[in-house]
Amino acid sequence: MNRDLLKKLPKVDYIKNIDLLIASKKGLSEYTFLQCIKESIEKFRKNILNEKISDFNESQIIEDIKIRLEENKTKKICKVINGTGTIIHTNLGRSIYSKEIGNIIYDVLTSYNNLEYDIAKGDRGSRYSNLEKLIIKVTGAEGALVVNNNAAAVLLCLNEFANKKEVIVSRGELVEIGGSFRIPKIMEFSGAKLVEVGSTNKTYIGDYLEKINENTRVLMKVHTSNYKIQGFTYEATNGEIAILAKEKDLISMEDLGSGNFINFSKYGVTKEPTVYQSIESGMDLITFSGDKLFGGCQAGIILGKKEYIDRLKKNQYLRTIRVDKLTIGILESVFEIYLNEKEAIKKIPTLRMITEKKEEVLSRAKVMSKLLSSYNIEHKIIETKGNIGGGSMPQEEIDSFGIEFYGAKANFLEKAFRENRLSIIGIIRNNKFILDLKTIQEEDIEYICKNIFEIYKREGLI
């Protein structure tokens, strides 16, 4: 019996040419495709030898291979649907780009480009020169430099200007960002010595003055973007720190965290300090992330006085934390959009989602509801609260709308949606599974609903 079943096992060369499997292998390499086929056939072989199965058919092997192919796809970075209502979702890639930027980057990625080539001179150029000019145009800063993230930006600045010297920071600003990276540790790694001043909730400019000595090099301010201290509080302003640093021939520096260029209070959202305000305060150096409120990609952007930026460009650390053509191409595209604030609000998805009226979200919810009803999926539209996320404005909630699903327990639906071939990430509130439309793009709605129908059908819910 075992011998007959073993003979029944198909050959790899036969299975790999089945149309259904060829369609399923999209996005995977030929090696991975063949490996999934071999693993599946070997699984059936072992089950036959161990007498775990008494018979099988070709469709069972094909289904097993399809499952393996889908599992391999989810191991790679892939598109997921963010139905959590968190706009800058750290686990889901933070800020997203517009299709327009995607098209621009496609040309950069699939062609040779002028990354380090000066077209006008026909000779070697700097990878930073064009981007720096654009950043200066948008911000008004004297100079600019880009590295691979904000932690690297802080490290580079402190290593260049305070290696083996002292940096004064308020105790209330010794933040920890995602992944347990702490300001004190980054400072230690840079070679700088941390000097804490003030208390957790109150730090005055006099506290900085009191600690200045011959070893002091930098007065540093860190924006507490991922937490708030409330009640009896006080903090020295950027302007006060900048003036004191200038008087004492020191460098003033601010780690702004999220690079915000928009006065959100105009759009009914809590006001967050802007890059422009930091520059106007007189700070010598300012660092911020490119993939949070700025709405770009992972990067650390340094703005400052030209003499300091020129020194940073010569620091040997820069080679280890420099950015590639993809990052430069994205940042050039995003900064170009920032030349017009109205265009930025419309064309940068992060800003659009933060500032859009809740009626626009309701409109998307109604479109999704209509499609779900056509599939006989039980649900209803509910009011929800989205949030900005990404360590930015932690207490700020944004009015939104979502779809609440029925037909099974919330935990069951959450898992089924998440493990679908198109992973749809939602939230559970009050024992109900919800997709928040704040973070769902209009062009994805039809495709999402088709996948939800497949989920309900597969799980026997309709």
> pLDDT tens, position by position, for the chain (462 residues)?
578 888 889 999 999 999 889 888 888 899 999 999 999 999 999 999 988 888 899 999 999 999 899 888 877 788 999 999 999 998 998 889 888 888 888 888 888 888 888 888 898 888 888 899 999 999 999 999 999 999 999 999 999 999 999 999 999 888 776 656 678 888 888 999 999 999 888 999 999 999 999 999 999 999 886 667 777 888 999 999 999 999 999 999 999 988 899 988 888 787 788 999 999 999 999 999 998 899 999 999 999 999 999 999 999 999 999 999 999 999 999 999 999 999 999 999 999 999 999 999 999 999 999 999 999 999 999 999 999 886 666 567 899 999 999 999 999 999 999 999 899 999 999 999 999 999 999 999 999 999 999 999 999 998
Residues 190 and 276 in one domain: yes
Residues 286 and 311 in one domain: yes
Distance CA 268, CA 389 (A): 17
Residues 367 and 315 in one domain: no
Residues 140 and 122 in one domain: yes
Q: Give the domain CATH number at 402.
A: 3.90.1150.180
Residues 317 and 365 in one domain: no
List, in order, residues 6 or more apart from 177 with CB less than 8 Å away. Answer: 151, 226, 257, 391
Give the range of the structural domain holding residue 416, as residue numbers without chain letter.
Answer: 80-94+351-458
Please classify residue 354 by burial: count the beta carbons closer than 10 Å to its beta carbon, then call 0-12 exposed, 13-18 middle and 19+ buried: buried
Q: How many domains does the chain have?
A: 3
Residues 316 and 181 in one domain: yes
Residues 295 and 425 in one domain: no
Contact status, residue 451 vs residue 424, Cβ threshold 8 Å: yes
Residues 223 and 295 in one domain: yes
Residues 332 and 355 in one domain: no
DSSP string, 205-230: HHHHHHH--TTEEEEEEE--TT----
Residues 341 and 358 in one domain: no
pTM of the model: 0.84
Could you give the strand order of the β-sheet that contains 427-429, starting from the edge strand earlier in sequence? 86-88, 379-389, 392-405, 432-436, 427-429
